[in-house]
Structure formats: C-alpha cells, structure tokens
Amino acid sequence: MSMATLINPAIPSSPSRRFSIPLTNPNSHFVKAPSLLRCVRKNGEINGLSRTPPPMDNGGEDDAETSLEESSNVELESKNNEIWRLFKEAQQNILYLNKQRVKAVDELNKAKREKQLLLNKIEQLEKENKRVSGKDNLVVCWELLLRIDSMVLGGMVSTEEASKLRRMVIDSKVSLVDVFSGLLQQRDAELLAELRLFSEGSKRKGYHVIHICTEMEPLISVGPLAPYITGLSRALQRKGHLVEVILPKYASLDLDEVQGLREIEADSYSFFNGQLHGNRIWTGVVRGIGVTFIQPLYFSSFFNRDGIYDHPDDFERFTYFSRASLDYIAKSGKQPDVLHLHNWETAIVGPLFWDIFAKQGLGNTRILLTCQGFDSQCLDEPDKLALCGLDPDRLHRPDRFQDTAKTHLVNILKGGVVYSNKVIVMSSMHSKGRIIHSMSHGLEPTLTMHKEKLLVAPYGFDNSTWDPSTDKFLPVNYSTENMRGKYACKVAVQQQAGISTHASSILVGCIISEESGFDLEKLKAVVRNAIREGAQFVFLGNGSVSTTYRALRSFQEAVEDSNVKFFYNYDEALSHLVFAGSDIMLCHSFHDPLLQVPLKALRYGAAPVSEASGDNHLRYSSDHDHEITKFSQFMRSTFGVMSLSQALDEMKNNPSTWKTKILNAMKKDFSWDSECYETHVSAYSAVKSL
C-alpha cells in the first residue's frame, strides 16, 4: 500500500483498517478511552459517550486485553447498578418512615381533638342526666338511711323499729352492678375471685362502720386523712359494708360535692362544760357515702374559721365535736359494729364511749383508732377532761392519759391508744418495729405495752380514676396487654413540653409540691447527672403555693437545659399525662400518703425511683423488718433499692428485664381495695370477736 493511500481520505481502505489513524511514532499503540468517562444512567444503561471503542486488530494479545477489560467493565457496571438500587431503596425507606411519623403525629393530634370533643359531650350528657334522673341507687339508699335517722330524732319511730328499717334498706342495697362496674376490665381469673368473694360476703352480715373524723375528700382536705377516709369508705361499701361519716360543719366545706344536703328538723343536744348545748344536724351523700354534719349553735365560732387546725382552743373544739357525735349516735338509735376514730382530734371518743355511752344501748359496738402518725398528740391540763364529762382524777394516771415526759399534763392521743380495741398505723413503708421504736414521738412505752393492738396498713389510691386503660385524660389508653398507647402518651408529653420526641429518650417525670419534701440542692445534682446520660425531665409544680413557685423558678435557672421542662401550675389532665408518658417517676420517698406518686406510677408503667440511691426506709436495720406491708416488700425487691443512675443503666442495658419489671408492677393492686381494705376488715373482725 502506498503512502498516498494512507494519507488521502478519499481513497478507500480495507474494512479491517477502517478506524486506523496515522501515528507519528510507528511503535505507539492505540490509545483507548479511559473507563472514568463512563456514565451510568438512572435506568442502569450506559451513556453512549462512555462506550468502549471496538478493538483494533492487533493480534491475540490485544484480544485478550480487550476481553479482560470488557469483563471488568461489566463487573463495575453491575456494582454501580447495585449501589444505585440500594441508594434508591434507602431513600424510599427514609421517605416512608418520615411520612409514617408525620401521619402518626397527625393521628395523635386528631385523636386528642376527637377525644376532647367526646369528653365534652359526655360531660354535657352527664349533667343533663343528673338533672333528669336525679340520683343513683346508692345515693337513694343513703338518703333513706339518713331520713330514718331524722325520724328517730323527731320521735316518729322507736330505735328498735329504726334498726329493722335500716337492716331492710341495707340488705337490698348492694347489687352486682354496684360492686362490679369497676372490675369488668380485670382478667377472668381476677373477676372470678371477686365474684367468689362477693358470694361469700353476701352470705354474712357486712360491718356497719361510723367514721368520726375531721377531714374528708373532697369536702375538706388538709392532709392524708381526707383521701384516706373517702378511699377506704368507698372500698368498704363496694364489698358490701355500710359506712358513714360524721364531720364538723366547717364554714369552708365544699358543699357543692354534697348530694341531697338537708337539715334534720329535730332538736339535737350535746353535753359540754356542765350543760346541754343545741346543735344543727345536716345530712347528705358524698361519693356514695352517707355524711352527717354537726353544727354547734352556742359555740358557733368553733368551726367557722379559715383553718381547721392549729388554733389555741383545738382541744375544746374537737372535744365538743367528739361528744356531740356520740350524743347524736345514741339518740338516733344507731348500733354500729365499729366506731372508727382518727388521730388525736377524735381519740377522746374512746374513753367517752367506755365510761358513758357503752351503757346507752351501744354495748356491742367496738372502738378502732387510726393514726396517720404520732407527731401530733395534744397535751393539755387534766381538768379540761371534765368539759366533756370525763373524770380527770380517774384518767390522769400513767397507764391511761398521763403524758410520759410531762407528767402534769394529759396526752389525748395516748388515751385514745389505751381505750381503743385496735390501733391501725397508716404507713406504706415502715415496719411495726420501726414505728414503735423510732417514730413514736415519746409514746414508745405505751405502744410497746399495747403492741398486740397495733396493725400497720398501707395507703392506697383511687383505681377508678387512676387507670391507664380507662383514663379519660389520656390521648390513647393502654394496658399490660397492649402498651402501644404508652408511647403515644410519651410523645404527647414531649410535644407539650417542647422537648425532643426521639423514641430512645428516657423521660423522667417529677411532681413537686409543698408536701413533696425534695431537697432541691440534692435534686439538682441528680438531674444534671441524668441529663448527661441522655435523660429528659418534666417537672410539674403547684403554682398556687408561692414558696413552691419560687423554689421551682430557682431550680429551673440552676439546671437550664433544653431537655428539662417546668410546668408551674398544677393541672389534673397534665398530671395524668405525665404519669402515663414517663418511663420513671422521681420520688422524694415511697411513703407518700398525700400525693401517692409511687402507687400511681406503678399503675401507669412508670418506675418509682427515689432521688437518693435507695430510700432510707429500705436500709433500716433488719431487726425491725418484720410486719411490713406487701407494698414495702415489693419495693424492696424491685425499684426501691436503685438510684436514678442505676435505673437508667438498667433500662439501656437490660431492656427486656426492665420491661418485665414494669409489666409485673402494673399488674399489682395497691389501691384502697386491696391491702388497705384487707387490713381494716381484719381489724374490724378482730374487735367484733372480743
């Protein structure tokens, strides 16, 4: 072939030389397009610009090289296609998860709105129903019983006939609907046990118990006595016992909570300071419990004051009320099985009963005294005992009323212990031994002498109001069988608090009030350490108390953090939501008779954890650990021995073990209907057998 043919494009060349180009260096090889110029389309095809040019006819060596390159290109193309496919799938999954999260939040907000609308409608219907239908069966029953009392006082019927009429009403009072309306959510085995218990109870006479006390929720509430009176009374009536309450008619009573309030049109007198004094008697029904109010006429200022305690004449005020209560019971012809007294304020009923009233047709009645604690005892001059008709000379003795330390004075609470058939000390965590030896406030000799009388009962809570499966304040309800709603409640709390809604965050709730007793300096250190471990906090306070408000403000400034939120004003709905949404509830103590935080926390699947590394009550000497409550036993074996830091570690490192603990705790019953009820009925049975 001539040179002219090679360089003249017009001269055709052979097909095998079609893509040949002249080289200045005859020893150079053909330069291939680098593979980096290849471009993969989204559909997996290869861009034409990156196609590998056909091989030159350079012999066997070039063919082998081309074959290897093509194989490498196919492999690279396959890898690129796979990477692109995985990338697209990841994008789709992320988009799907985001859509689902947005959808879940929208559904949660929608559920909240729908539930609130439904609650508003239910509330409106309930109000209309009350106006139309009036009262439920229990209210009607109690109004009948109270009307019988007024007939006796008015002389219309004899005490014997009244007793028969009362028994007739009582025997037809309890129905299956009344007893089991709040138990239908329980499992079959638990419901069967309650049915069997009811069957046995219906065959025997229920106890007739009269509380003579100074507080009752929701009428007048200062301390733990008020919720205890109402909670225990309702539990007793649910099991077929007849319970009524006698209270002073304070000027500050919330009478809107009383159904059928009426004044008995009959004279009522009581003895005080050497003569008889008139009283007005009012009756009504509060949360299904018959209540009698005593209003002094001559001593009208006794209960017409701002506060109900801590007045210079408290001895006179409550002694008058105690004597007036007994006079009313005797005249109305009531023959209760048990007169149930409370704290020093009505402890004097014990000696009054045995010295005077047991001989007035009450010989089969027995006395039970309950103490919320021994820190308040009432010491006064012995001669004052004569105001209500007692003999000071006979009672001012070491084995009766004489105070152990101040022997010239009488101790009213000590006298109540001596003259009662049984004494119940309310304490969720303390053992009987510790109460006697370390918490008796000078009454140790008396309590030791009468230790066989002593029983320890735990506080409870209202499981009809505090139940996550039916709680009207929650956006989504939940139970041990289906816990999904708890996560929705957690998201709702986080949203309301304006903190991160990350699923792995551990939410710690804490309720602070004047009574909670937190050491805020210690609490700051606990919170800071927990924040470093990734915990979130929601604090709920009571802004109506100025000291609590100022303390929370100072606390917030000290632990300023985006994962900590403070709510200053107590709100009932928010309180329920905090229990439901929290993983942990931080407590000052597990002995919490007023707020009942540990008990409610267990029911809502939030672990109650002490601000310190284990509650001091649990580290008390084992010498005094006999006769403790079931609640105390449970706490000692679960959450009671761990600090907040230890609880956080276990949640992170042993989630399955933690979940089992939580579910087991939710199944426990620490309400008024459980151990508290059982201890009191046991005491009633014991005193009736004396």
Percent of the chain with pLDDT over 90: 56
> Rounded to whole angstroms, how far apart are CA atoms 420 and 652?
52
More confident residue, 306 or 114: 306
> Rounded to whole angstroms, how far apart are CA atoms 73 and 9?
33
Quote the pLDDT of residue 121: 64
Strands 269-272 and 584-587: unpaired
At a CB cut-off of 8 Å and minimum separation 6, what does 352 contact? 322, 323, 326, 388, 389, 390
Tokens representing 575 are 């309180």
Instruction: Dump pLDDT digits (tens) for 441-465.
Output: 999 999 999 999 999 999 999 999 9
Query: Is the distance from CB of 395 to CB of 385 less than 8 angstroms?
Result: yes
More confident residue, 63 or 366: 366
Q: Burial, 644: exposed, middle or buried (Cβ in 10 Å; 0-12, 13-18, 19+)? A: buried
Quote the pLDDT of residue 515: 66
Least confident of 39-48, 242-251, 627-636, 644-653: 39-48
Report which residue type is found at 624.
H
Q: How far apart are the first and last CA of the chain?
A: 138
> Rounded to whole angstroms, how far apart are CA atoms 606 and 648?
12
Tokens representing 680 are 């009191």
> Rounded to whole angstroms, how far apart are CA atoms 244 and 506?
45
Tokens representing 108 are 């949660």
CA neighbor of 442 nearest in space, from 403, 474, 471, 472: 403
Quote the pLDDT of residue 546: 67
Query: Is the distance from CB of 431 to CB of 628 less than 8 angstroms?
Result: yes
Q: Is pLDDT at 188 greater than 60 in this prediction?
A: no
Q: Distances in Å between the alpha carbon of 170 and those of 140, 208, 243, 291, 331?
A: 12, 10, 11, 16, 20
Residue 163 φ then ψ, to 5°? -60, -40
More confident residue, 96 or 656: 656
Q: Is pLDDT at 338 greater than 80 in this prediction?
A: yes
Q: Distances in Å between the alpha carbon of 5 and those of 12, 17, 56, 502, 635?
A: 8, 12, 20, 78, 104
| Strands of 541-583, DSSP E | 564-567
Token pair 């604690």: residue? 373
Quote the pLDDT of residue 272: 97
Quote the pLDDT of residue 124: 62
More confident residue, 309 or 519: 309
Instruction: Dump pLDDT digits (tens) for 148-173.
Output: 888 788 777 788 777 777 776 766 55
Quote the pLDDT of residue 29: 42
Quote the pLDDT of residue 38: 46
- The pLDDT mean for the chain works out to 82
- Residue 291: pLDDT band (50, 70, 90) is very high
Quote the pLDDT of residue 220: 96
Q: Is pLDDT at 276 greater than 80 in this prediction?
A: yes
3-class secondary-structure state, position 338: strand
Helix (H) or strand (E) holding 295: strand 289-296
Is there a cis peptide before residue 218, judged by omega within 30 degrees of 0? yes
* Total length of the chain: 690
More confident residue, 556 or 228: 228
Instruction: Dump pLDDT digits (tens) for 564-582.
Output: 999 988 889 999 999 999 9
> Rounded to whole angstroms, how far apart are CA atoms 59 and 619?
92
Q: Is pLDDT at 82 greater than 90 in this prediction?
A: no
Q: Distances in Å between the alpha carbon of 591 and those of 128, 517, 587, 616?
A: 41, 11, 9, 11
Q: Is pLDDT at 43 greater than 70 in this prediction?
A: no
Quote the pLDDT of residue 183: 55
> Rounded to whole angstroms, how far apart are CA atoms 344 and 545?
28
> Rounded to whole angstroms, how far apart are CA atoms 190 and 181?
14
Instruction: Dump pLDDT digits (tens) for 9-42.
Output: 443 444 433 434 344 444 444 444 444 444 444 4
Quote the pLDDT of residue 112: 73
Quote the pLDDT of residue 21: 39
What string of DSSP letters covers 225-265? HHHHHHHHHHHHHHTT-EEEEEEE--TT--GGG-EEEEE--
What string of DSSP letters covers 395-435? H-STTTTB-SSSTTSEEHHHHHHHT-SEEEEE-SS--HHHH
Q: Is pLDDT at 467 greater than 80 in this prediction?
A: yes
Strands 379-380 and 366-371: unpaired
